[in-house]
C-alpha cells in the first residue's frame, strides 16, 4: 500500500483552492491519505467544512487524527462527526483496517521523553496533567490491540520520540510529545508511525524498538527539495 501522509495544515477557507491544487495528484500517487492532526487553526466547524470539501474532491480513502489546534474551541466531537459523515476515518483510540493494512491512532499528548518523562508525583494538578498523557497512551494501546493485520501504521499528532522534534527549542521538547506513546508502539509492533506538531523538527527517527517514525508536518515537507505537501510511504 502507498500512503500519502501530511500534518499541520492549519486550514482556512481562503487556502481551499491552493490546497486542492497541491493535493490534486495524490490519488495517482497513493492508495490512502493520512492527515496527522492540526487540520484547523482554532477547531471551528467553519474551518473544517471547506477542508472536508477539498478532501472529498480528492476521491481517495482518508484516515485522520485531530491535533491540539482542533481542540482549541472545545468542538472536537463536532469536528469528528463532520469528518466521519463525509467518509473520513477519524481515529481516536480506534483502529481501521483496509486491504491488509491496519491503522491505529489517537491525538497523543505531551509529557517528555525517556528519563525526562513527567511522573504523577506531587500536586494534584501535576497528577491530572500526567493522567491526560497516560490516558492517550491507553487509547493507543486499545487501538493497536484491535488490529488483526500483520502490517500496522500508527497515526499520531504528538511525537512518540525525541529524535523527530530536534530543531525545536529545547525548552519546549516536553510539550512536543511523550515516549509513553513509543512504549505502546514497541509493545505491539508497527511498520510505520507518522505524526506532526513539531513544525521545526526532523523528518525521521526510530523508537527504541526500531520502529521508524516520520514527522510529516507540512512545514518540514515544504522545506525539502523539491517542496512537497505530503510524503509517500510504501507499507
Q: Is 139 helix (H, G, I), strand (E, B) or coil?
A: helix
**171-186: average pLDDT:** 97
CA distance 235 to 64: 17
Residues 6+ apart with CB under 8 A from 122: none
| pLDDT for 94 | 98
Q: How many helices (H) and strands (E) does the chain have?
A: 7, 11
| pLDDT for 18 | 80
Length of the chain: 235
Q: How many CB atoms lie within 10 A of CB 213?
A: 25
- Delineate the domains of the chain, giving CATH numbers in brackets: 2-234 (3.60.21.10)
**16-42: average pLDDT:** 91
Residues 6+ apart with CB under 8 A from 186: 207, 208, 209, 211
DSSP string, 34-82: EEES--BSS--HHHHHHHHHHHHTT-S-EEEE--GGGGTTS-HHHHHHH
Q: Write out pLDDT tens, residues 49-79.
A: 999 999 999 999 999 999 999 999 999 999 9
**35-44: average pLDDT:** 96
Q: Write out pLDDT tens, residues 118-163.
A: 999 999 999 999 999 999 999 999 999 999 999 999 999 999 999 9
CA-based end-to-end distance of the chain? 5
Does residue 1 carry a pLDDT above 80? yes
Does residue 12 carry a pLDDT above 90? no
Asked if residue 50 lies in contact with residue 16, where contact means CB atoms within 8 angstroms, the answer is yes
**Residue 226's Cα: distance from chain center in Å?**
23
Amino acid at each position: 500500500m502507498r500512503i500519502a501522509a501530511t500534518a499541520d495544515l492549519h486550514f482556512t477557507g481562503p487556502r481551499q483552492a491552493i490546497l486542492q491544487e497541491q493535493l490534486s495528484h495524490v490519488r495517482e500517487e497513493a492508495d490512502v491519505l493520512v492527515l496527522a492532526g492540526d487540520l484547523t487553526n482554532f477547531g471551528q466547524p467553519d474551518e473544517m467544512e471547506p477542508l472536508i470539501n477539498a478532501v472529498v474532491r480528492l476521491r481517495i480513502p482518508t484516515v485522520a487524527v485531530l491535533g491540539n489546534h482542533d481542540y482549541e474551541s472545545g468542538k472536537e466531537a463536532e469536528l469528528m462527526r463532520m469528518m466521519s459523515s463525509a467518509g473520513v476515518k477519524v481515529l481516536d483510540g480506534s483502529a481501521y483496517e483496509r486491504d491488509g493494512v491496519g491503522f491505529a491512532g489517537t491525538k497523543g499528548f505531551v509529557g517528555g521523553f525517556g528519563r525526562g518523562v513527567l511522573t504523577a508525583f506531587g500536586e494534584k494538578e501535576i497528577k491530572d496533567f500526567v493522567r491526560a498523557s497516560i490516558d492517550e497512551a491507553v487509547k493507543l494501546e486499545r487501538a493497536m490491540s484491535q488490529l488483526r493485520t500483520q502490517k500496522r501504521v500508527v497515526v499520531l499528532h504528538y511525537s512518540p520520540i525525541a529524535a523527530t522534534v530536534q530543531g525545536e527549542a529545547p525548552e519546549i521538547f516536553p510539550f512536543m510529545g511523550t515516549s509513553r506513546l513509543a512504549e505502546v508502539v514497541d509493545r505491539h509492533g508497527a511498520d510505520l508511525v507518522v505524526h506532526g506538531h513539531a513544525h521545526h523538527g526532523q523528518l525521521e527517527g526510530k523508537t527504541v524498538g526500531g520502529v521508524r517514525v516520520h514527522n510529516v508536518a507540512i512545514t518540514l515537507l515544504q522545506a525539502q527539495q523539491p517542496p512537497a505537501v505530503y510524503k509517500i510511504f510504501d507499507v
